[in-house]
Structure 1
């Protein structure tokens, strides 16, 4: 009797953690310089990293 195996990957978890850390870093940048250009770029980085995080987790689920 032949057995079939399923290969799984933790790509979704790893990519999710990576972009979660990037989003947290962007949020820290936003808090470090509120109302300035650095804060705006931190907010943009946090939003984009959060978006990629959600897409990657759903893509590799």
Structure 2
């Protein structure tokens, strides 16, 4: 009696996508031309990192 379970790797993929977006935001934070660009880069990095954690928790069910 073999039982099959299908697991999705969507949490890994979504977390990697948001991780890449967080890396881009951190890049803007480091090399931004003005304080405003650096601030938006920090905001992008923080929001993308938060969404990466939420994606792992949401799809891990």
What is the TM-score with the length of structure 2 in the denominator?
0.88
- Name the Cα RMSD after superposition: 1.4
Which ranges in structure 1 are unaligned for 5 or more consecutive residues? none
TM-score by length of 1: 0.88
Larger radius of gyration: 1
User: Is there any run of 5+ residues in structure 2 with no aligned partner, and where?
Assistant: none
- Give the number of equivalent residue pairs: 60
Runs of 4 or more above 3 Å deviation = none
1:4-26 CA-to-partner distances (Å, cap 9, x unmatched) read 21111010000010000000100
